[in-house]
Amino acid sequence: MFVQLHWIDMLIVLVYMIGCFVIGLYTTKYIDNAGDFFLAGKSLPFWAVGFSIVVSDIGATDFVGVAGNAYEYGVSAANFDWLGSMPAMVFAAFVFVPYFWRSGVFTIPEFLGRRYNAGVQLLNACIWITVMLISLIMMLWTTADDLVRTMLGFNPYYTVWIMAVVTGVYTFSGGLSAVVMTDAVQLVVMYVSGLSLLALSLWEVGGWSSMRATIESMGGPYAHHFTILLPNTHSAFPWSGIVFGLGVVLAIAYMSGNQAIVHRTLGARTEWDAKAGMLLGGFLKSFIPVMVALPGLCALVYLPQAIQNDPHAVPPEMYQMVDTDTGPVPVLHERDRVVPTMMRLMLPPGLQGLMLAGLLAALMSSISGTLSSASTIFVTDIYNRGRQLLGFKALNEKSALYWGRGFTAFLIIVSSLLAPQFDRVDGLYNFIQTVLSLFQGPTLAILLLGILWPRANRWGALAGLLLGVLFCFAMWCVPNLFPAEDPFLYIAMYSFVFAMVVTVVVSLLTPPEPEEKIRGLVWSSVVQDPAAQEALKARVEA
């Protein structure tokens, strides 16, 4: 039942893995200090920033999860990469990135520390380290279990460790430079393989029009498969949650407040490169649903045909018969197994290797990006800041570099050890979104108010973040509080509003920040004032 890889497939995967490894290690020669390791020496051109944002954001979880959602819910699954990306990336490029870049920070929590205080910085950093650890574990397990095991039958423990070691070593050695350089290669591999899968899927189902007509004729649960904004009564993606929760809150919070995304723009050589990189990333991301969601739709037509032609094409325990207007149709139990099953049944030798390399590219880029961002946050905002708060000297460049590398190694080992626990989680894309939604709303609220409203102060931000996260958690724990089965869209929306209100009220009840402190960090102040920036930096370091 598993794919027997042809020697050409093995060769393609091997060449790809060794190529990434060598490119990653090559960049090590440019790493002399913490600035080189964490921010690539502020030398990245816009295209490298854009490429890196896309491949770091799109992991194997997206290939698997978005296709699975499209299989079950239709094109509305694409909202996450359309409505949930481009407008948010434009806001990120023109509202947040210029301030982050100009303030010369390494991380978002560091920016919050400068704008508010160390408490907000530490709390935000701890939240992101936790989120990144969970994301890493999910990425590793998804690829190992849902992809490689379904396709090749390999033991997932084995796969997790191989992926962890290969990716961990080059991230450990080359930092952000290695991540961005390998991301450029991985983007090409990912797009070529994704477009190949799309082309073959459409070919097998007789083209777009034929596929659309077949699915629409099935009626029942498939009646809305080509409606992008679903009614508010829809159980998974009701439009109010998609438009307000995803488009206005989650997406902007993700693109502006997520270190793994913003990290690359902080390493851009100019402010223009940072903004242009963000826009290019948004444009390239627009193609992801085409490559990822459409094969999920094609599976609705292709898999029944494949099972009809060969009853053993898919094991009977993997699917159930669902009544439709055109008769009973076999539908997979687990939507996350759609893409691997399609790859196994459809792709010829050579393309299977390319597709596997593409999925590994998606995984490796996300792992390396997350590792790099997590180690930057740990060293800058937790360890170094903690030392300063306890009265110790700040880390020098060499020590920061060693700690960054050490934490990279620690994180990947812990993630690999914990990965098997996540076989309990179904619908992993939604699970990751749920975890993110717990923190994104409150984080966006304090970031947005921090930049747009000079009156926002440290107490307001701390209360907004803490109570906002607590509020999210309470909403998440109450079953059936919202009409959607995965309530993360509503949680993000309401927690954002709640954290905004708390931050504003507490800020108004407590003294404002001194004008000198927030100079250069808010929209209305003079942002291109080197003297102010230097004074700010000196005060933070003191």
Partner 1 sequence: MKRHLFRMVALLTVLPVSAGFAQEVAPVHYQHEQVGGILGILLRISDVILDSWLAFLDWFGGLWAPVLIPVFAPLNRLLSTVYQPWAMIITLGYFLGTMAWVAFILKPSYVNNGRQHAAWYTDLRLWTALSMLPHLFVYVYFR
**Binding residues for partner 1 (CB under 8 A):** 21, 25, 28, 75, 82-83, 86-87, 90-91, 93-94, 98, 149, 155-158, 160-162, 165-166, 169, 173, 226-229, 231-233, 238-240, 243, 247-248, 270-276, 279-280, 282-283, 286, 417-418, 420-421, 423-424, 473-475, 477-479, 481-483, 494
Cα distances from 370 to residues 9, 135, 375, 390, 521, in angstroms, run: 28, 8, 8, 28, 26
CA–CA separation, 262 and 138 (whole Å): 21
Alpha carbons within 13 A on the beta-carbon side of 502:
24
E strand spans, 468-542 = none
Element spanning 321, H or E: strand 319-324
Shortest distance, position 310 Cβ to partner 1, whole Å: 26
Shortest distance, position 115 Cβ to partner 1, whole Å: 20
**Is 157 or 402 the residue whose CB approaches partner 1 more closely?**
157
Shortest distance, position 430 Cβ to partner 1, whole Å: 16
CA–CA separation, 298 and 470 (whole Å): 41
Joined together, the tokens standing for residue 224 give 């809305």
Shortest distance, position 452 Cβ to partner 1, whole Å: 14
Shortest distance, position 117 Cβ to partner 1, whole Å: 28
Shortest distance, position 228 Cβ to partner 1, whole Å: 4
Say if CB 531 and CB 539 are below 8 A apart. Answer: no
Shortest distance, position 166 Cβ to partner 1, whole Å: 8
CA–CA separation, 277 and 54 (whole Å): 10
**Is 188 or 417 the residue whose CB approaches partner 1 more closely?**
417
Beta bridge partners of 230: 238
Phi-psi sector, 470: left (phi>0), alpha (psi -120 to 50), beta: alpha
**Is 276 or 447 the residue whose CB approaches partner 1 more closely?**
276
Joined together, the tokens standing for residue 113 give 């520390």
**Is 28 or 305 the residue whose CB approaches partner 1 more closely?**
28
Q: For residue 161, give the amino acid letter.
A: W
3-6: list long-range contacts, CB under 8 Å, 24+ apart. Answer: 3/151, 3/152, 3/343, 3/344, 3/352, 5/152, 5/349, 5/352, 5/353, 5/356, 6/349, 6/350, 6/352, 6/353
Shortest distance, position 157 Cβ to partner 1, whole Å: 4
